[in-house]
Amino acid sequence: MSHPPSFPPSSAGEPLSGQVARITGGSRGIGLAIARRLARLGAAVAICGRDGKALETAASTLRGAGVRVVAAVADVSRAADVAAFVSQAESALGPADILVNNAGVGLFGPSHQRSEEEWDTVLDTNLKGVFLVSRAVVPSMIRRHTGHIINISSLAGKNTFAGGGIYCASKWGVQGLSGCMAEDLRQHGIRVSLVCPGSVATEFSPHSAKDTSKMLQPEDVAHAVAMLVTQAPQSFISEVQLRPTQKP
C-alpha cells in the first residue's frame, strides 16, 4: 500500500509562507500533486472538484500533514458553483495569491462522431471553467495589485492528433484566452502563465498502450507550477512546455 508523502514543518523561510492558493480539479492527479507541492512551499490551499468522496480524501491527506486547506464540491462550468467556492475559500483562508486552473475533462474520438452534449461538456469544463474561475478571482488580485494565475493547458493546445478534435479545440482556446489574460492583467501586477504538458500518467490519459513509467508524472507538472510561482516578481514565464525524457 502506498502512503501519502509527508510534508516538512512550516517555517518563515518557505517561499509561499502566508500565501493562499486555489486549485481547481484538486482532488486527484495533477491537481492534487500541485496542491501538495504548493503546501510544501508554505501556502494554504483551497481545492475544488466534482467528486465529493475523492475531494474529502484529498483534503484529509493535506490536513493530516498540517496544511491549512478548504475543500468544496464545485463544477467549474457553473458560475454559481464557482462563486460559492471562491467565497468559501476567501472566508476561511483569505484572498487568493495563486490560482491554478487545472480542472479538465477529455472525450476522444473523431469529431464528426461526437455529440453536441460531449462538445459542451469538454468546452465548458476546459475553457469556460478557466474563464469563470479567473473572472471570480481576478478582482481581488487587481485590488491588491498582485497575483499569479497558472492555466494548465496541454501540448494538445499546440498540436493535433487523430481523435482529439474536441479536446484540442478546448486547449487551443485556453492558449488564446491565457495570452489575452496576460496582456490584460500585467498592468495590475498579475502574472498569467501556461503549463503545457504532454501525456501525464493519470486515470485521465487516453493512451493506455503507453509505458506509464516513461510518461510524465503529476509531480512533474507540480514542479513546473512551483517554479513559476517562486520566480522573481519583476518577470513572468509566459509558457512552459513539458515533455518526458523518453518517449513512452
The values of phi and psi at residue 36, to 5°, are -60, -45
pLDDT value of residue 10: 40
147 within 8 A of 190, measured Cβ to Cβ: yes
For residues 4 and 12, what is the distance between their CA atoms, to the nearest angstrom? 24
Residues 211-242: tens digit of each pLDDT: 788 889 999 999 999 999 999 988 999 999 99
Element at 89 (helix H, strand E):
helix 79-93
Closest CA to 133 of 61, 172, 181: 181
Q: How confident is the model at residue 8 (pLDDT cuts 50, 70, 90)?
A: very low
pLDDT at 6 over 60: no
Cell of 233: 516578481
Write down the pTM of the prediction. Answer: 0.91
End-to-end Cα separation, the chain, in angstroms: 26
Predicted local distance difference test score (pLDDT) of residue 211: 79
pLDDT reported for residue 5: 43
Q: Please write the tens of the pLDDT for every residue from 83-137.
A: 999 999 999 999 999 999 999 999 999 999 999 999 999 999 999 999 999 999 9
With H, G, I as helix, E, B as strand and everything else as coil, classify residue 196.
Answer: strand
Segment 76-80 shows an average pLDDT of: 98
What is the pLDDT at residue 12?
A: 45
**Per residue in 156-211, pLDDT tens?**
999 999 999 999 999 999 999 999 999 999 999 999 999 999 989 887 655 566 77
The whole-angstrom separation of Cα 231 and Cα 236 is 7
- Active site amino acids: 167
Neighbours of 93 (CB within 10 A): 19
| Percent of the chain surpassing pLDDT 70 | 92
For residues 227 and 243, what is the distance between their CA atoms, to the nearest angstrom? 16
CA distances from 175 to 30, 141, 158, 195 (A): 19, 21, 8, 10
CATH of region 20-242:
3.40.50.720
- 232 vs 12: CA distance, rounded Å: 18
